[in-house]
Structure 1
């Protein structure tokens, strides 16, 4: 409830300060403000049910304050101003008063005076309309109420219209200032792991590299992985390169430029660099060990919040060290020493426990797929030093044929640190070529593949694609039992469960059939998913055999090969950015606001040029969801999000779209230049078009929210 309340208050406050800007400047200019609402008080009728238009209201002086039933914004209703084109004429008539009566109307009215004044105004409006209808000259007898919005000078009206945006910018700085003074937790842009074959891998990024600059932004040691880096990747898409400055160690800095790769799954696009966040040695509070993996079966059991301090007696400090050690001990039981959370809540550390975790056996179907030529070589790797070339097809290791490309990494484990002769087929050469290389122990897990992964041999630093066409079937395997033959090509996969109570969302791909390719849903990726399958899960392979489609459902069999992943669920590394003084906090507040304005502007530019898909936009549900996630972290994180939201509201509201503040400014600018207002009929037409576009946009982003969050 605290999170819901803080999100509601935060979002409401952003709207409040925007409308407060309009209200205060309007009052300063002598404009009568009839309503001040957070939310819109629009009557809603659902069949026979009529909902209240507002949650509450009260009258103070001449202004009615309230909270509308529709929480999608707010408004200040000024005398003579109405964004509803249907009420424009009535509002224009209402502010006409007889000449000479203006002096009697100066000052603020309250209580019965307001009611009397409204009655007189209504009477005079009727008289004005009557004069016009009978052909008289209403302008000779009537003038605009001096307290109405249209009666003010163009600069005054511009000040009133722009005040909301200015207030948003002021409070954006205030939000960020208070956040940085109290300390903002964030996930640093430290590389935890690089996915083999990815853009980050190709250029040579390494674990523990710290990204300190993205694009043309200012260098900072406090870039956020889940905000700054992710937004930068989405902004450049696949068409542009993302430049970054990376710090290695304490003093060495290198510049890189890389282009994200776009993976498409079920109609959704995922731009990726191939960088994983750095992990802490602390296990997740909710799920310290993943079900089905050896860690979940260890005794004594791992507990939420355990901190891994040693593996087989060797001290470890972070996730990188842990993965490196486990990668080298994949075929052995390991002793993992953890430091428990303190039970009394007072001492910093609790007792230690030694937990034995058994090795993890690889699961296979018995299918041998078609290997392709080398498609990537990691800079400085044993493969590069040995002279492997792009397109080389590996055939044999020390004279022994490579029976299954997916077993090559495992086949090299006993040969780490020794010179190995590889037979490769290169180009049009009629005979295999010998290449000598020394595979080294990898710093991460072999056979650990993600979306779009080719086959990777980390000990050599090479990758190559694997086509899902069967070249051989292992004898006595589940694939042989199902009648799979060489030449069959897997075109799609689908995961199911024999447990009828299992929710589809718990299954890989939510139980949907997914087509295979060599770019996104690759065979190595499916191979990695086999290792996650529990006893009740089955995989259905849809195959093409000489143009005929057939399907087989199988359960992978456990082999005598080993997978380094033991199933420990680590938390991601966090840091806190806290300003030492209020002066420094204000400086950071201005900087954060400026950067957020730049992000919003870049998104708008991307949308206008087609670089960003409109499907990436979020609506009210997305805003509330993200705000809730940030509030669950800390109040400071919520304030930083409100800074971004304020910058977003300021820019969007000032776009030259009729019905928005920017549209009003556009009309006022034209009036100032021409010396007379824009034709009322033209204003009404453009405003109607603007309202229609805004409603259409709201329906679109709300629909995307519903699809994204619930389907």
Structure 2
């Protein structure tokens, strides 16, 4: 049940928080500019909750949590009493109106910086960009197993996310990049990655696969560390220190294979447990055993644990994984750097989608956002903070697009007003609202269509 309602819950939490902060930016600046705010709504549609303050502003929580608005006194929206005209939005200076409209996206940028700052102070576990198996372009370029990517075109890369953000634009533009890699011995060398040779069917969602790179993951040996009493493994005769060689004829190289094959092969299509043929090595002898898992919460349970990591395995873990953590002052600079990196990547992707160099399949809608919110929340507080910061940046950037009815469309009108010395005509503004509405509905429809394709593919 939680697998269905969990994403919905976290979508409401995430969007509710970010929309509230965005609309509060408009509200806060409007109040300081002397504009009367009539209503502050989080969500659209019928109100689930509302109240009024002493200024007469209605605060609403509405039924559809996919947006919000701040409604201000405005003569373009309806008649205004003569004694209240000084508080009308349209009576304010061009600078004041610009500040009020720009405040929403600006507050989303502020929220993102704050979320990333707290994320770095708390510490976020990350996977370092260590290369595993290479084929194709990566192998031809000279990349080798366990090389650590430390720079892409001179930009430091601490994680696989940093590497992908740096490589993706070059891959879409078919331009080669220079990688600085570090071997296990600490020696650094330069490698030219010929992304200009990527084929026309390049799929940006599988960038590393197209280049021929598999991220390296350390593994533990497939040796049983402990067998639980009264478990299927104990009943089958498995013992601590047994080395698992094969499961149902599938060779086992490491503990990841054990963790993959048992759930994959240990339960049938009808949800019932299946007996597993196990080939194990014990004291230099090979044994053939049969083990039938026990099903708990739909998962096959056998009752074995991996061995504790030895010194070599611990060193591998330290090379492959890290925790990005900084003190409160250092985290300020890191949060601005992360915001700048993700903002540049988002604008770059939008620009490439407009010019056709990136697929429109990259657009995501509420279903994907809900799944991401749920997944990030399950991964921990710092990962959820990263998700919130990323979505907050996306909201800011989308709202700055020069589309009428969005904040960017209003800012575009104000730029025209600044240049020509007078506001755009009512006819232009009304026509723009219809065009903007069609564009937003079209983009939302495409995003939801992409969500459904991902969901059912």
TM-score bucket of the superposed structures, by smaller chain: 0.7 to 0.9
Per-residue CA deviation, residues 484-530 of structure 1 (Å, 9 max, x unaligned), is: xxxxxxxxxxxxxxx9859xxxxxxxxxxxxxxxxxxxxxxxxxxxx
Q: Which residue of 2 aligns with 1:672?
A: 418
Q: What is the TM-score normalised by the length of structure 2?
A: 0.75
Which region of structure 1 is more displaced relative to structure 2, 696-705 or 633-642? 633-642
Is the 1:175–1:643 contact (alpha carbons within 8 Å) kept by the matching residues of 2?
yes
Asked if 1:240 corresponds to 2:240, the answer is: no
CA contact (8 A) 2:143 2:191 kept: no
Q: Which position in structure 2 is the counterpart of 1:49?
A: none
Task: Render the CA deviation track for 1:410-440: whole Å, top value 9, x for unaligned.
Answer: xxxxxxxxxxxxxxxxxxxxxxxxxxxxxxx
| Offset at residue 201 of structure 1 (A) | 1.3
Partner Cα distance (1:172, 1:356) in 2 = 48
Q: What residue in structure 2 maps to residue 228 of structure 1?
A: 162
- TM-aligned CA deviation for residue 254 of structure 1: 2.1
Q: Secondary structure at the match of 1:650?
A: helix
Which has the larger share of helix? 2
Paired residue for 2:456?
710
Could you say which residue in structure 2 is the equivalent of 1:525? Answer: none
Checking the alignment, whether the CA contact within 8 Å between 2:172 and 2:204 is kept in structure 1 is no
Alpha carbons of 1:184 and 1:7: their partners in 2 closer, same or farther (altered >3 Å)? farther
For residues 500 and 178 of structure 1, what CA distance do their matches in structure 2 show? 45
SS of the equivalent of 2:192 reads strand
Question: Offset at 1:207?
Answer: 1.5
Provide TM-score, normalisation by structure 1.
0.49
Quote the Cα distance in structure 1 between the aligned partners of 2:88 and 2:175: 51
Which residue pairs with 2:398 in the alignment?
A: 652
What whole-Å deviation, never above 9, does each CA across 1:350-379 have from its counterpart, x for those lacking one?
A: xx921233468999xxxxxxxxxxxxxxxx
Partner SS, residue 279 of structure 1: coil
Whether the 8 Å contact between 2:41 and 2:60 is mirrored in structure 1 is yes
In the alignment, which of 80, 86, 90 is matched to residue 150 of structure 1? Answer: 90
Q: Within 5 Å, which residues of 2 pair with 1:249-268?
A: 249-259=185-195, 261=198
Q: Contact 2:22–2:107 at 8 Å: present in 1 too?
A: yes
Instruction: Say whether residues 1:37 and 2:36 are aligned partners.
Output: no
From 9, 12, 28, the equivalent of 2:13 is 9
Partner of 1:574: 321
CA distance in structure 2 between the aligned counterparts of 1:11 and 1:672, rounded to whole angstroms: 34
Alignment of 1:174-573 (within 5 A): 174-194=114-134, 196=135, 198-215=136-153, 218-220=155-157, 222-223=158-159, 225=160, 227-235=161-169, 236-237=171-172, 239-248=174-183, 249-259=185-195, 261=198, 270-271=206-207, 272-281=210-219, 307-308=220-221, 336-340=222-226, 353-358=240-245, 573=320
Report the secondary structure of 1:701's partner residue: helix
Q: Calculate the aligned-residue CA RMSD, in Å.
A: 3.3
Mark the CA change 1:361 to 1:634 in structure 2 (over 3 Å): closer, same or farther. Answer: closer
Q: How far is 1:173 from its partner?
A: 0.9
- How far the C-alpha of 1:341 sits from its partner, in A, is 9.9
Against the structure 1 CA distance between its residues 256 and 76, is the aligned structure 2 distance closer, same or farther, given a 3 Å change threshold?
Answer: same
Name the SS for the 1:651 alignment partner: helix
d(CA) in 1 for partners of 2:228, 2:269: 40
Note if contact 1:14-1:646 (Cα within 8 Å) is conserved in structure 2: yes
1:19 touches 1:75 (CA, 8 Å); kept in 2? yes
Question: CA separation in 2, counterparts of 1:232 and 1:618?
Answer: 21
Change (3 A) 1:339 1:215: farther
Q: 1:615 to 1:175 in 2, by over 3 A?
A: same
CA shift, 1:637, in A, is 1.0
Matched-pair contact (CA < 8 Å) for 1:246–1:256? no
Matched with 2:297 is none
Instruction: Call closer, same or farther: CA 1:261–1:626 in 2, change over 3 Å.
Output: farther
Q: Distance in 2 between matches of 1:56 and 1:246?
A: 56
2:30 — aligned with what?
A: 26
Q: Is the 8 A contact 2:15 2:66 kept in 1?
A: no
Q: Cα distance 1:629–1:268, how it changes in 2: closer, same or farther (>3 A)?
A: same
Q: CA deviation at 1:339?
A: 3.5
Task: Check the 8 A contact 1:262/1:269 in 2, yes or no.
Answer: no
Distance 1:339 1:672, change over 3 A: same
| Secondary structure class of the residue paired with 2:422 | coil
- In 1, Cα distance between equivalents of 2:226 and 2:320: 18
Shift of 1:238: 7.2
> 1:684 maps to which residue?
430
Q: In 2, are the aligned partners of 1:263 and 1:270 still within 8 Å (CA)?
A: no
Measured in 2, the distance between the counterparts of 1:658 and 1:685 equals: 9
For structure 1, the 5+ residue unaligned runs are 43-52, 82-87, 106-144, 282-306, 309-335, 344-351, 364-443, 446-498, 503-570
Gaps of 5+ in 2: 230-238, 255-267, 272-316
Greater Cα radius of gyration, structure 1 or 2: 1
Tell me the SS of whatever aligns to 2:392.
helix
Give the one of 57, 64, 69 matched to 2:58.
64
Question: Going by fraction, where is strand more abundant, 1 or 2?
Answer: 1
Counterpart CA distance in 2 for 1:649 and 1:597 is 11
Relative distance call for 1:669 and 1:623 in structure 2 (3 A) is: same
- Aligned partner of 1:631 in structure 2 is 377
Shift of 1:239: 2.7
The total of aligned residue pairs comes to 379
Q: Does 2:316 align with 1:592?
A: no
Check the 8 A contact 2:137/2:193 in 1, yes or no: no
Other-structure match for 2:447: 701
Taking a change above 3 Å as real, the CA distance of residues 360 and 12 of structure 1, as seen in their structure-2 partners, is closer
CA distance, structure 2, for counterparts of residue 653 and residue 342 of structure 1:
56
Q: Which residue of structure 1 lines up, in the alignment, with residue 274 of structure 2?
A: none
What displacement does 1:640 show?
1.3
- 1:103-118 to 2 correspondence within 5 Å? 105=84
